[in-house]
Structure 1
Amino acid sequence: MNIHTVSIICPVFNEEKYIEACIVSILEQDYPKEAMEVLFIDGNSTDNSTGIIKRYTAQYSFLKLLNNPERIVPYALNKGLKAAKGEVIMRLDAHCTYPTNYISELVRYLYQLNADNVGGVWNTQPAKDTPICQAIAFASSHPFGVGGSMHKIGASKIMETDTVPFGCYKREIFDKTGLFDTDLVRNQDDEFNGRLLNLGGKIYLIPQVIINYTARDTLCKMRKMYYQYGLYKPLVNKKLGAPATVRQFFPILFLLGLTIGGVVCMIWPLLLHFYTSVLLLYLFIGIVVGSMGAIRAHQPLLALLMPYVFFNIHMSYGIGYLVGIFNVLGKKTAQVKPSR
């Protein structure tokens, strides 16, 4: 395999719990260290994230720490791109750990497939060994929770796709696409990959490359994350000129059906039976999926928790999407502080 120089860009904000495991997984990579540089871009963390990173940068010269006073991810990515020297640009997330062949496999497939971007799949893990954390992780990786997003639910073969987590890019593609859009606190990868596809680029999902992703540890954090995903999706659609996928519309349709349907049933009680049937079907699917998860995890509470967690995901995304539509119509750009 030809050895290409690789610049890894890892945005960081308050990742004290996870950053050390992330760094260790980078140090254990089988890719030649002399062909790597790792740029941690910190958004003014208020915890000990930078202290942990500095401990490692003092030992390893290819690890570097840069500052991102604007704090949000797209600014961090752009700062990293401007500082990067590699032929390959790879984005990593501090919330994850990576298999030892992560870099070597993605770089190999990037050139073997003549791709512009390649990425692996998530193995979504609970943040803690508690029923609610298990439910959050399971819901975040199930089709009923996140639709047909293949990097979240898994795939059986290498496939072309619309987006991948984080991304491994050929450096020269940024000359065509430009940088990441700083209007987007969330979904900046989706918008960038949409631009790449519109220019004729190729994106491939490599399912044998598995990223250990740690899900949010509370319902509040999960709701905020999915709200932000929904909030910025209409802006992404506007910038790209069209929606990238159909699956993004289901949560807002469910939200509108739930609220408008409830009002309509007050006016025409005959529709109440249909309205109730849909809600019972939703509950039934949630319980069935939860029961399957309960059997797999040997955790009976999942059967009861899963419908509630699914509901939180769909409502949070749907409400965010609705607010995002109003922001786009009002020509506003929502800005949300980074959070973990």
Structure 2
Amino acid sequence: MTSPAGPLQLTVAIPTYNRADFLRQTLAGLARQDFPRGSFEVLVIDNNSTDHTRAVVAEFAGSTPAPRYLLETKQGLDHARNRAISEARGDILVFADDDILMSPDWLTQLVAPLFTDSAHRVGAVGGEVIPVFPDGLPPWVAEWHAPLAFRADAGPLIAKDSPMGANLALPKWVFEKLGLFHTALDRAAGNYFSGGDSEMIRRVRAAGLEVWFAPAAAVQHQMPASRTTFRYASRHAFDSARSRVIDRAGQPGAAAYFFGRFLGNLGKTLGFALLALLNFLIARPGEAKKALVRAWRSCGYLYQIPRSLVGKI
């Protein structure tokens, strides 16, 4: 892939759902990028928002490039991502969450490994994701929120490390070769499923391609108060476990994996529930909440494994 000068090179895709005010900040950051203005486009894929998302996009009509608004009526993050792939005119797709903040050199740093990859060995590049908390961070959830910090310089990742879909670039030829995102694995209104991005990364690696990390392409991922509550944390843990089971169902050895996970999580559910009770009794509510969240994660496995064994989501 050549340098960023010249014709359209990048498509920045922002799926969004009812986060208009955060989206405004993300679009403002894109308007300040130092990447050549005529070399990238911005797509905002509205996944049936009921707030003022469309009006926020219209506020940036005078930007260069002006964001293009797309309505995707099939509910779900990966339906929105796949719509972006079908509409993209750039050679590289950059997927960004609708609540990130970035520095002016973000795009330049993120796609640099792809522009020097003339042999098509690199299938994906992820940037650093740093959680920030505009409304504060309750101590009991702090251990679950930290930067990725996979490596200090740009380069390939080891197999156990996977970048996040909040800050991820893939060449368009990867989708032509490997197909689109798996729409059963990511969130839609009413659930907190996750895993569409990691499942795509697994396909990239299975095809013999490298997955890189670019720490200088850092974004701040805003986490409002609504995402640091016990209700959110427990539901997210439950649905994340369900996502892992759904993803594993299509892989070799799934039955043995399910058997082991089911038995293991029976014990974990009871153990974490008892630990939560003990912490409540000795007036340690934060530790009790953490134990209950872990119990809910185990319940997610127990709920989804029998469903996946009979082919249900």
* TM range, smaller chain: 0.7 to 0.9
Provide closer, same or farther for how the CA distance between residues 218 and 252 of structure 1 changes in structure 2, counting only shifts above 3 A. farther
- Structure-1 residue corresponding to 2:191: none
The alignment yields a C-alpha RMSD, in angstroms, of: 3.2
Structure 2 contact 156–210 (Cα < 8 Å) conserved: no
Decide whether aligned partners of structure 1 residues 309 and 197 sit closer, same or farther in structure 2, where only a CA change above 3 A counts. farther
Q: CA deviation at 1:254?
A: 7.1
Q: Quick one: distance in 1 between partners of 2:79 and 2:38?
A: 27
Q: Do 2:12 and 2:93's aligned partners in 1 also have CA atoms closer than 8 Å?
A: yes
The alpha carbon displacement at 1:47 in A equals 1.6
Aligned to 1:152: 148
Equivalent of 1:239 in 250, 254, 265: 250
Residue in structure 2 matched with residue 163 of structure 1 by the alignment: 162
Correspondence for 2:87 among 75, 83, 94: 83
Q: Partner of 2:148: helix, strand, or coil?
A: helix
Cα deviation for residue 74 of structure 1 reads 0.8
Among 257, 266, 275, the alignment partner of 1:256 is: 266
Q: For the residues of structure 2 that align with 1:33 and 1:326, how far apart are their CA atoms?
A: 51
Would you say how many aligned residue pairs link Structure 1 and Structure 2? Answer: 284
Equivalents in 2 of 1:250, 1:21: separation in Å?
A: 45
Name the CA shift for 1:60/1:309 in 2 (closer, same or farther; >3 Å). Answer: farther
The Cα offsets for residues 142-187 of structure 1, whole Å up to 9 and x where unpaired, read as 5xxxxxxxx6355434441442112201111111110111222221
TM superposition score normalised by structure 2: 0.79
Counterpart selection for 1:103 from 88, 107, 112: 107
| CA 1:259–1:77: 2 relative to 1, 3 Å | closer
| 1:319-330 mapped onto 2 (5 Å cutoff) | 319-330=299-310
| 2:233 pairs with one of 222, 235, 238 | 222
**Match in the other structure for 2:177:** 176
Name the amino acid aligned to 2:230.
L
Q: Secondary structure at the match of 1:152?
A: coil
Q: Aligned pair in 2 of structure 1 residues 59, 105: CA closer, same or farther (>3 Å)?
A: closer
Cα-to-partner distance string for 1:219-275 (whole Å, 9 max, x where unaligned): 3223222322211111111234468xx9xx999887432445699xxxxxxxxxxxx
Tell me the distance in 2 between the aligned counterparts of 1:82 and 1:90: 14
Name the one with the larger helix percent: 1
Match of 1:50 among 50, 54, 64: 54
SS of equivalent to 1:235: helix
Aligned partner (choices 118, 130, 135) of residue 125 of structure 2: 118
CA apart distance, 1:95? 2.0
What's the counterpart of residue 194 of structure 1? 202
Residues 207-228 of structure 1, C-alpha deviation per residue, up to 9 Å, x if partnerless? 2322211232433223222322
1:3 aligned counterpart, secondary structure: coil
Counterpart-to-counterpart distance in 2, 1:7 and 1:229: 29
Which residues of structure 1 form unaligned runs of 5+? 143-150, 264-275, 284-303, 334-340
Cα 1:199–1:159 shift into 2, 3 Å: closer
Aligned AA (1:120): G
Correspondence 1:51-66 to 2 at 5 A: 51-57=55-61, 59-66=63-70
> Is the 1:42–1:66 contact (alpha carbons within 8 Å) kept by the matching residues of 2?
yes
Partners of 1:122 and 1:212 within 8 A in 2: yes
**Distance of 1:56 and 1:32 partners within structure 2:** 18
| Residue equivalent to 2:190 | none
Question: Where does residue 72 of structure 1 map in the other structure?
Answer: 76
Q: CA deviation at 1:44?
A: 1.2
Contact persistence 1:139–1:309 (CA under 8 A):
no
Partners of 1:124 and 1:93 lie apart in 2 by 12
Which residue is equivalent to 1:148?
Answer: none
Match of 2:311 among 331, 334, 340: 331
Task: State the secondary structure of the residue aligned to 1:172.
Answer: helix
Q: Counterpart of 2:216 in structure 1: which amino acid?
A: Q
1:25–1:261 CA distance, 2 compared to 1 (3 A): closer
Please give the alpha-carbon distance, in whole angstroms, between the structure 2 residues aligned to 1:198 and 1:26. Answer: 33
Alignment check: 8 A CA contact 1:7 1:90 kept: yes
Deviation readout 1:21-52 (Å, 9 max, x if unpaired): 11111111111121111111001111222221
**Post-superposition, which runs of at least 4 consecutive aligned residues in structure 1 deviate over 3 A?**
57-62, 111-114, 151-159, 240-243, 249-255, 258-263
Asked if the contact 1:119–1:164 (Cα under 8 Å) also holds between the matched residues in 2, the reply is yes
Q: Is the 8 A contact 2:238 2:297 kept in 1?
A: yes
With the length of structure 1 as denominator, give the TM-score of the two structures: 0.73
